[in-house]
Structure 1
Amino acid sequence: MSVKGKAYIVGAYEHPTRHAVGTSLAELHAEVAAGALADAGLRLEDVDGYFCAGDVPGWDAPGVGPMSMVEYLGLNVRHFDTTETWGSAYINLVEHAASAIAAGKCRVALITQAGRPRADRLTPADSHLNQVQASGESQFEIPYGAVVTNMYGMCAQRHMYEHGTTPEQLAWIKVAASHHAQHNPFAMLPKVVTVEDVVNSPIVSTPLHRLDCCVITDGGGALVLAHPDVARNLKRPLITPIGSGFHIKQLNGGYFDILQSGGVKSGAEAFAQAGVQRTDIQYASLYDSFTITVLIQLENLGFCAPGEGGKFVADGGLISGVGVLPTNTDGGGLCNNHPGNRGGMTKMIEAIRQLRGEAHPAVQVPNCGLALAHGTGGQLGARHGSATIILEREA
């Protein structure tokens, strides 16, 4: 069931820090909450629904951390959701918040995300270590040394083997991100790079180079959703989810296609619910933990046929004002921000900027009315959750 027009995203805020030395995780959550509420023109007292995932303080003690954040923020809520799907969680939670508002469970929903792996000198593997070690499959997989870079390297290698994709084509995804990041004053890597820069950077996991990999940053973001009665009094652009989908891709005992992510099903569901075509989407926020992540998502979501992703992204196919599908116009996780190794929140925020007409003028999509955000939580090539959401700005 679509929640179109039943809830609106009225507040969005991305923390400007990329290195949060001296700022606790709880403080980051509080600061992004304050920023998003100020953007919406609301106060903490207005919030009666709180949504977060496992990145809150105390996440290694299930359930305690999120409840502590409600107390830390001084919230008085009647609805609460801590769905955990890693990098896709915050796209998933937008749909949950909109559905909760539509069902009458709350009227103003606050979603916060924060992380400080850079300050704590954590790798993506470290950030997930406790959760992974607690999982049933860990005893069978950890001894073989499967890590994030290796899994994505296998995906890239397979795509090259099956479809003739080249390192240069993958490099165009980083090049596009850098062209956008140069206009973002907060981007961690604002320097424009070339295809040659990418393919000449050191190999991390064959065939992926260092510049094929995302940044590791601190920071976070927050969103505020509101009931139509509240939203229409705030004098903010009316942005509503019109279609969403979620799917868990599991390994099926080893019988699975490494190049098919959960986005195949989550994307199909979102487009069917929204009633729009791929060619209607004017802007896309796609999870970009690695360049290959973007390429596989483009194919899985139906923006191009399987095997055609390399051609789709080459020669600036994702660059705003140049290519057919402007993507990650803030610089994405490859160049801008990947707070807490969870990119779903920043993907939502840039999509909202585009729909509001608030992206940097150099990358703003003219009259942007339809945007898509997609997140991957976990690892391509292994089990993961995929969340897709399509957003519309009402005229």
Structure 2
Amino acid sequence: MSTSSLVKRNRCTGETPNMVRRQRGGVPPDGVVPSARTPGQRRFEAALLAAANRTMAGMRRRGHPLRPTSLVSRVRPDAKVLGLRVHDTALDDLLAQLLPVAAGDRVDGVPGLRVHPRRDHLDLRSPDGEARLLGVTRERWRRAVATGLPVELALTGGLDPREAAPRPDLPVDLMSGVLRRLPLWRGAAWLDGVVVGDVLELYWRGGPPSDSVAAILARSTCGIPASSAVPYRFRNAVRGVALSAADPRAVAKVAEPEWAWVDWDAATAPGPAVDERAVRPVQARPDLPDVWEQHEMRDALALRDITTVYRLLTHHGVPRDRIAALTGQPAHDVDQVLSGTKVESYDTLTAIAEGLGVPLGYMGLAHNEATPPSPTCDCATLDERTKRDRFLAHAALVTVGGTTSTWSCRAESCRSTRPL
């Protein structure tokens, strides 16, 4: 494998070149990220990606101090077992989404998943496949359990009959491929995914351009085999890509999109382009149950199935008149929706999402963030010494290559003829 191929694999998985060389099963040709070997393993990895997506969405909604895309810093697609390096401060959040939990006649989390603590890692196994959380020691697992994680099913030997329930059809090949390349979005402020039929839609803010990600995922040596990608652009630096399966016989070989790697490097280089927090937490309704990360609710929101959304809320004890008051709908309209009437008006859907405190991105309505306030101008109040100190500090940054921007006041309202 050439040096350039190792570098590209590092960008996709976060592995260092030495890590790639030491892996069992040999080094794949041309820097290709190896795919899961069995359909069961791909199903398991798709479930892991769904859990990671719910975790990142919850972190974003609650205003977690860690950037959601820092959840998984490294993926090790070893020939024997997939390894994930999870940030310690978000480990408990991820485990809460992974561990199977009985909820009535269904099981939330990853059905069939069982936990096996080891000295320096945590093995996750299911009838479909297995994965390994790297660096999670037995002591760290005990601390996680002490926080109240539901471990009853995760530590049992057999399967609960409810874990054998049919699962929804998902584009598991695409989802497994994205999980193995999750560090590609390390420069973004957040990442969210929605499954629409057999298409996997990914949205993120800041970080790599959508054109570059689409080219890397579909046409590069580190791409997902037999896939196609369509890039999208939205307001406020929000990007997106729609991934779908492609006929391998119809996929023509094209030259490596080197321009995509150049753009990726430029957008994810260290610097102040994206704030580490970078997101505005959604104001949750204290009088509503926190159900927005549940499987059925996320599926209903993604499909804009308001009937199911309302039924789930009433199932959790929210009265119909309270739904009407929050959404601004007349009570008889809420009754009609509960009876099966579809809601298709964009304005009504937006009012429902905002009234219930649902992130608009969960319903594919708008992927935007609050625009940061423009800096204020204080040129008129600064003395000459302060101005000189600012100029010298800027000159020092230019000298060491820390900035390429011009020396001037950044406030649009500034009328001073002297740059600051």
Q: Same fold (TM over 0.5)?
A: no
TM-score normalised to the size of structure 2? 0.26
Higher gyration radius (CA): 2
